[in-house]
Structure 1
Amino acid sequence: MKQTDYPLGLHHVTAMTSDVEKNYRFFTEILGMRLVKKTVNQDDIQTYHTYYADDKGTPGTTMTFFDFPGNPQGIKGTNSVTRTSFRVPNDRALDYYLTRFAEFKIKHEAITEVFGKKVLRFWDFDNQAYQLISDENNHGMAPGTPWQKGPVPVDYAIYGLGPVEITVSYFADFLAVFEKVFQFKVVAEEGDHVLLEVGEGGNGAQVILIKDTKQAVGQQGYGEVHHIAFRLAQAESLKVWETLLNVEGFPNSGFVERFYFKSLYVRIGHILVEFATDEPGFTVDEPYETLGESLALPPFLEPNRTYIESQVKPFKTN
């Protein structure tokens, strides 16, 4: 495998919500992230798939959501993705959001530290777990651009994904896959927590792996993460990964066309991992100025627009 085939860092995290409209308001009005794509789940076209990111929908800045009809609430536990991080420019930004969360009555904790970085943990109305992480003194993968027309001052606003927290009972086996197959490196350890990074490293290219053999296994549903995705620079790398995963004995999806990026999926134990390309990006079918304002469909779903619009509940995003 060539260096250019290695993951660059985080691409996106996809979770599940009980209410797509409340989720939209939470991410845009409170967190100050931009809705860059309102579309549907390509594998379940009766379900919205919404994408929140930085100002331009830069790879490595995106949190996405499904709203599966009738989906039960998830149950927290081991063998799951347990927390998603968002990058903010500095420690002062954490102070800003601390005040903001109190104002909007968002469940949160005091500012603490994780692996030497200041963080602010919080939860949404579905009890989905997040944290803001300060980029002060951070080095590595560059952040995106704060939403220029958002409600949060650009000097404080979220502009990228930070370390994703994964909790597993089969810690040694999982760690071995990330090190030997996915090319991550251990850069710090704190008790049963290990910090891994890939590519240029830094907050935008890290995973926090936690050993937990005591909790029951978590169950997916709204309020939980569906999968995590890592960035690839080029579509050609997907074939390289398909070959490598087959050799290593990991069943995988092979190439999947998602229109906004090209993908491959593989499950490591309970954790669904996606490799996704940086290109073509979210402006492939909408201009920068109106990203996320209307229901966007990839060309292969456009013939089904009338049916899809009859199935999903409209909500205003412009």
Structure 2
Amino acid sequence: MKSPSKLLFMFLMISSTCMVASSSNWLMTWMGLEINMLGYIPLMFLKESSSESEAAVKYLVPQSLGSTIFIASAITSTYLSNLQILTVIAMCLKLGVAPFHFWFPPVMASLQLMPAFILLTWQKIAPILAISSLNSLLIKSIMPIAMISALWGGIGGLNQTDIRSLLTYSSIGHTGWMLASINSNYIILIAYLMTYILINASIYAFLSKEHIKSHKQLFSSKEPLKYFILSITILSLGGLPPLMGFIMKLLVLMFTSAQIIILFGLIAGALVSLYYYLSLTFSTLLSFNKMHLTKTQMTSKQAALFFLSQILPLTLILFFF
């Protein structure tokens, strides 16, 4: 990741997202999405393994299909307005939300931790911003997809033991909440995106130096306070009150104009996700009173990311409201 070529592709990925955010027509949006895809694919190769090559192909094919559907919809919707729904399908395919998530878990399973973290966080920004620029009728048509995604993100994570798979299905569920937040205040969408990225960054900071794959290895460390903080971060991702993840979900429910059945689906998906996160961290939380806190050390990056993920989005909300 420190080579000049990697820095160039990272710059392309970031600048293309800014292009999508500032574009005023569909052609510039399509170009930004294409550059974003082409800038991310080289970043998937850290160890030059065959699994990473397989993940790159599995990522390239649905992304190219989504781009093709998107530009075809932009051209034909000038004459047939009913075909604008294809724009929604194209963006949902790029996001990997249910029921268009068939490519997302296999790609995540084959990636190293850093490319997987980028795919979970930064790669969601450009398609979500493209969806937020649609008209209100198309945004309302996304609400059933948001409900299905939230439900599937909760149900799909129930039988998972791999940490990367848990984060994958959690991402599918959170993307459903992001789609629901598009139908509310724009600040809520930005704050939700910021909260989700910071919480995932905090989890990545804890896992980056550990060779952990299953949930049984996750909390078997000799540094109990560090993994207690990791438990709190994971529960915040699941939406346990009164943590930041719960506050963001509550704001989406308060300000969105979705139908009541959509809201019930979102809440049900969040409750199922919270169930398996509680089962994941239950033993660590119960043993906190036995921990020797004076023998535990945390790096400044881990502590800073944890407090930023819980405090910074709240200050943003208080500033605008």
Q: TM-score category by the smaller chain? A: under 0.3
Q: Which has the higher contact order (CA 8 A, sep 6+)?
A: 1
**TM-score, normalization by structure 1:** 0.25
**TM-score, normalization by structure 2:** 0.24
The structure with more radius of gyration: 2
